[in-house]
Amino acid sequence: MPPEFETDEALFLRYRDGDSRAFDVLFGRYAPLLTRVVARALDRRAEVADVVQQTFLQIHRARFDFDGTRPLKPWVMTIALNLRRQRQRTWGRSKEVYTDVEALDVPAEPPPDLDRPKDIERLRAALAALPQGQREVIELHWLEEMPFAEVATVVGAGLSAVKVRAHRGYEKLRVILSAEPV
């Protein structure tokens, strides 16, 4: 079977056994996703690229710790979010959310009901106003379309806690977005 059609988990196990081509396929699958997720919280392109690179370095270092019976995506996302949080703590939270995602050569599709640049900017500002825990859950669930169970694994919280964070975050987004003029 060509590597492009293999599961992430099968590819990772092949990579762990020394197949560098499997890593190239995984990098192609995960780099755009990680770049989008990291870019939502960091304001400089170099920081975003550095955190994505550090994520893959951590994945390489911990490759023998991965349990091949579990899904790969939550494990990778957990590493990336932990590195993003660490970068935010180290360098301080930026006052602005990175908005030049197009410059990263990563397709960032807006949700179908938000297609105007003004709407996208309003959404980014509203997301930036949420507490970090709620923002991360909404980014992963809504923008990256991850199921709540997977989000819970990534953020290291229980399923019901993640659902509560999402509910509260979505409510705050409704309030913020309805208060602003269209």
- Average pLDDT (78-98) is 72
- Confidence (pLDDT) at 89: 79
Range of the domain at 18: 1-108
pLDDT above 70 coverage of the chain, percent: 81
What is the per-residue pLDDT for 178? 85
- Same domain, residue pair 164 and 74: no
- Report pLDDT for 121: 79
In the chain, the amino acid numbered 161 is A
Q: To which residue do tokens 């590493």 refer?
A: 79
- Is residue 40 domain-shared with residue 126, that is, in the same domain? no
User: What is d(CA 15, CA 24) in angstroms, rounded to the nearest whole number?
Assistant: 9
The structural domain count of the chain equals 2
- Cα end-to-end span (Å), the chain: 50
Q: Which of 97, 105, 101, 99 is nearest to 135 (CA)?
A: 97
* Same domain flag for 131 and 178: yes
What integer is the mean pLDDT of 121-138?
88
Full DSSP string of the chain: --GGGS-HHHHHHHHHTT-HHHHHHHHHHHHHHHHHHHHTT---HHHHHHHHHHHHHHHHHTTTT--TTS-HHHHHHHHHHHHHHHHHHHH---SS----GGGGT---PPPTT--SHHHHHHHHHHHHHS-HHHHHHHIIIIIS---HHHHHHHHT--HHHHHHHHHHHHHHHHHHHHHS--
Which domain-ending residue is among 65, 82, 108?
108
Tens digits of residue pLDDT in 28-54: 999 999 999 888 887 788 888 999 999
Q: Looking at residue 102, what is its pLDDT?
A: 40
Task: Identify the three-state secondary structure at position 182.
Answer: coil
One domain for residues 142 and 59 = no
- Helices assigned H by DSSP within 67-158: 72-91, 117-129, 132-138, 148-155
Q: What is the mean pLDDT of residues 156-180?
A: 88
Average predicted confidence (pLDDT) for the chain: 82
pLDDT band at 65, cuts 50/70/90?
Answer: very high
Do residues 72 and 161 share a domain?
A: no
pTM value is 0.66
The last residue of a domain, from among 61, 88, 108? 108
Last residue of a domain, one of 93, 108, 123: 108
Question: b/e map of 136-161 (b: 16 or more CB within 10 Å)?
Answer: bbbbbbbbbebebebbbbbbebeeee
Q: Cβ(33)–Cβ(47) under 8 Å?
A: no
**Positive/negative CA dihedral, 95, 97, 99, 103:** positive
Q: How confident is the model at residue 111 (pLDDT cuts 50, 70, 90)?
A: very low
